Chains A and B, each alone.
Chain A
Amino acid sequence: MLRLLNFLFHYRAFLTFLSLEIFCAWLWVGNSQYQNTIFFNTSNRMVAEAVGTTHRISEYVSLRKTNEELSEENAQLRTLLLQLNRVEASSLPGVDSLVRYEFVSARVINNSVARFKNFITIDRGEDAGIRPGMAVISTAGAVGKVKSVSAHFSVITSLLNIDEQVSSVISRTGNFATTQWDGTDPRTAQLLYVPRHVKLLAGDTIVTSGYNAVFPEGILIGTVKEARLNKEALFYEVRVELAQDFSSLYYVRIVRSELKSELDSLERVTIGKQP
């Protein structure tokens, strides 16, 4: 016993080091893999307010651009309204899918594009009905997925996160694929698992598939910038130019899917998917 204590005392620095490192690694791996509602991130009210203050300064610099984007969206909505007035609502295509989703708009108060795992903080939280796992979109296209939520703020896993995969579809051909960021250029992502037989062209639009019930169907992700097919490769190597420029993201919309829990429980019963 004494020898054991002696041993522990002798190596106390190394043992402290080891236990701290293991604890940190556990936090890091656990934190980046699971959606959760934890206190130790920028959804924490105090942190969010501090972070939001610094963001407001940089936001002020780009007011002009934000203004342009908002007026553009305004114009789009006006044309949509005109069309709606003309056509009877029930005959509109896609109305069925519209009813399944509700939108909450929020302001971005913290954002990054240069890291391998980028996150976005917004100024709406649980009180606005936001829950982990919900999809986040902007006027331009898909943005990400809600990761953790506090009373008034939420943290979103950006599409620019090497762990984030989005089920996508090539709208011209109807083939399914997966969009994933490779960690380098914040303007482009990779499209994985596009099989050889597909005739892929530069300029093809990539939209969300709606297979996982997170994103609504048909949200724009980007356009194919360059598609390469190596000899003997099973899949294309595709670079997709993202529709949303993440370095100037100021307003987002959170998609509340009314049917997500229903779909999940149905899948659990039929396929046996674990919660």
Chain B
Amino acid sequence: MNRSGILVVLYFVIYLLVQVMLFKQLVLFNTAFCFVYVAFILLLPIETNSMALMVVAFVLGISVDVFYDSLGLHAMSLVLVAYVRNFWLKLITPQGGYDAGQGPTLTVNGVQWFVVYSLPLVFIHHGTLFFAEAGGFGIFWYTMLKVMTSLMFTMTVILFLQYFSIRRRR
């Protein structure tokens, strides 16, 4: 296995552990959750094959599910994100295209592009997750409140981590 492969496995383990050890305990106002592990799928290299992406998303989702006692729920949402991701990347290609071998990160493409890229995908993930958990649209507004507050929480943490990684690189 080459160096980047090992890094991917390492990141996988780190994201999983941080999610189930730290962010699982952190729920703000009883409605805002942080599902930071979505960033792992968002930040994989741009050329990643969508089949591989979905398989990785499935494995990560199931692993999170085991800790959340919700077998299938997180996996379902994350596989959807993995499937949509490459289409969305193609759609919002900046002028001049992406640099080869780079991840779709804040450092490379700027904060504005990164928010446009990640916000809808995180929204899809949270929307699928909470509505599937609620078993439909029966408690629509309360579920929507959960989706929106969690979206803000997750996005804040993802952006913070991105800035943090820029700092360290310099």
Residue numbers of A with Cβ under 8 A of B are 12-13, 16-17, 20-21, 23-29, 31-32, 38, 40-42, 44, 47, 50-51, 54, 58, 112-117, 119, 121, 155, 162-163, 182-184, 186
Contact = CB atoms under 8 A, between A and B. Distances in A.
A26 B72 CA distance: 8
5 contacts: A16-B54, A21-B80, A40-B71, A41-B71, A42-B66
B30 interface: yes
A17 B83 contact: yes
B27 interface: yes
A17 B76 CA distance: 10
A25 B72 contact: yes
B70 interface: yes
Interface of B: 20-22, 24-25, 27, 30-31, 33, 50-51, 54-55, 58, 61-62, 65-67, 69-73, 75-76, 79-80, 83, 130, 132-135, 139, 142
Given A12-B51, A13-B50, A20 B79 contact: yes
A19 to B, nearest CB: 10
Contact of A27 (B27, B67, B71): B71
A190 B58 CA distance: 36
A50 B13 CA distance: 14
A12 to B, nearest CB: 7
Contact of B75 (A12, A24, A41): A24
Contacts of A119: 69
Nearest to A155: B69
Given A25-B132, A162-B134, 15 more contacts: A16-B51, A20-B54, A20-B75, A21-B76, A24-B76, A32-B70, A41-B71, A50-B20, A54-B22, A113-B30, A115-B70, A116-B133, A163-B135, A183-B142, A184-B139
Those 4 A-B pairs whose CB atoms lie nearest each other, nearest first: A27-B72, A28-B72, A24-B76, A119-B69
Contacts, number: 97
A28 B54 contact: no
Contacts of B65: 40
A162 B72 contact: no
A24 B61 contact: yes
A24 B76 CA distance: 5
A25 B71 contact: no
Contacts of A24: 58, 61, 72-73, 75-76, 79
Contacts of B24: 54
Nearest to B62: A40
- A21, A29, A50, A51 pick with most chain B CB within 10 angstroms: A21
B85 to A, nearest CB: 11
A16 B54 CA distance: 8
Given A25-B76, A182-B139, A114 B66 contact: no
A30 to B, nearest CB: 8
Nearest to A46: B66
B18 to A, nearest CB: 12
A119 B69 CA distance: 7
Contacts of B72: 23-29, 31
Nearest to B29: A114
B15 to A, nearest CB: 15
A13 B80 contact: no
A16 B80 CA distance: 11
Nearest to A26: B72
Contacts of B133: 115-117
Contacts of A26: 72
